[in-house]
Structure 1
Amino acid sequence: MKVNELFDLTGKVALITGGGRGLGEQIAEVYAEMGCELALCSRKKESCDGVAERLSNEYGIKAKGYALDVTNEEQVKSVVNKVLADFEKVDILVNNSGATWGAPVEEMPLEAWNKVMNVNVTGTFLLSKAVGKHMIEQNHGKIINIASAAGLTVRPPEVTNTIGYTTSKAAVIHFTKDLAIKWARHNIYVNAIAPGMFRTKMTKGTLEQKEEKVVETIPLRKIGDENMLKGAAIYLATQASDFVTGTVLSVDGGSTL
């Protein structure tokens, strides 16, 4: 098989949560470029609609936006059923929706902790469960969980102070490994990407206040740009990674070394 065939996604369907902006939009773009059809989900449907329209026009693929609160099981079931009705299958699930909250541990509200855990951990579980049932029936699937370098290491509060986020992403990493061994018999690959510091809406506040300190923790001494996650995302979604499951691919400039 030629290398370009290993990375081809023609005829595949990907469901991407948080697909209307940031890392989710970047992943959607590289999938579209490789021929993948896209179901983009987030609470802000209009953002997903805009990305879906742009990518459809640019790459000639089918793409559609859906409104989804990943913490609501009934909504998750409903949207997955709509996607299956619209696209007939889901080959790739990218659990990208995420939330964070910055505060010292001693001052963090329980409500904030619960919100972050519900979106990052429970949302990943609910989507994997709903889409996984379909993937088990078709005996194939690729699940990519967007974890974080923050789930692999710790930093002093002068650098980051988001214990709910770091804890949730560590949970996503363990969930990835456990689910990979549970569903390997169904030919379902479950992997995670652990991005380091990228320029997104979520990180804007931290970088505005502490960019110099953050960069000092990154051996490559730079912040991730809009292209740096695409290679990892396409690799884990395609035949190129057909002997890889339960792994965590860090895309972090070396910050977890």
Structure 2
Amino acid sequence: MANSTVRGRSGTGTPRQRSVAAAARAAAKRAERANRPEESGDESARQEPAEETRTRKKAWFREDSKAKEKVKEGAGAKTRTAEADAEAAEGGDTAAAGKSSRHRPGLVSAVLAVLVVIGLVAVAVLGWKFRDAGRADTARTEALAAAQKAAPVILSYDYRHLDKDFAAARSHLTGDFREQYQKTTKTVVAPTSTKYQGVVKATVAKPSSGGAPAASVVSATPDKAVVLLFMNQITNSTQVSGPRLDLNRVRMTLVQTSEGWKVSAVDAL
């Protein structure tokens, strides 16, 4: 019994047993091939995935090519835009440079004209100041001489020829002060001098050792000057027993007129 089993396994059994075993092996192989289509005889099962893979690859290559074309087009557009912007900027710079070069001569001319005007004004101002300073110096000299000449005449009189003395004094005066002097001498000085036989002699003080009179210019402009003088007045009249000496300080204002420097005010200090 045991021997028959061994022979059946080794292919030495009965024909029926060998047929059953072969059918079982064939069924097992068919099942195995069904589970592994690529090893089976079905050619369409092995080719279908490869075809699908090739289709997907082709589609991918097409999409990739389109994407690359789009990227190239975008890059080209950006390049063209950048070039256009650069050309526009260069053109603008060139236009600006052209405008600047065209306007520069006009600007330079305008600046030069302004500088010339400023220079002329400066020269005119300096010239005016120089001339004014020169005129002021001249005024100091002339006004001082006029004051030294007019003061003794204005402050002196003699009861024996009052009209002549007062007329001489008025020739050195001007403006309101001339009218004031005439009124005062007529209503006050003339009656008093006549009654007491008054005689007044005025001179500009001088140092005992000699030298220039005691007079100086306080201020001066081309048209006006103020002069300070030290005056000696000797008075004789019936009211005093002998000559009386008065030492006075007088501030005299003079102005330039068509007839020269004239006294416009006298103030005793």
TM-score after normalising by structure 2 = 0.20
The higher-RCO structure (CA 8 Å, 6+ apart) is: 1
The TM-score with structure 1 as length reference comes to 0.21
Larger Rg: 2
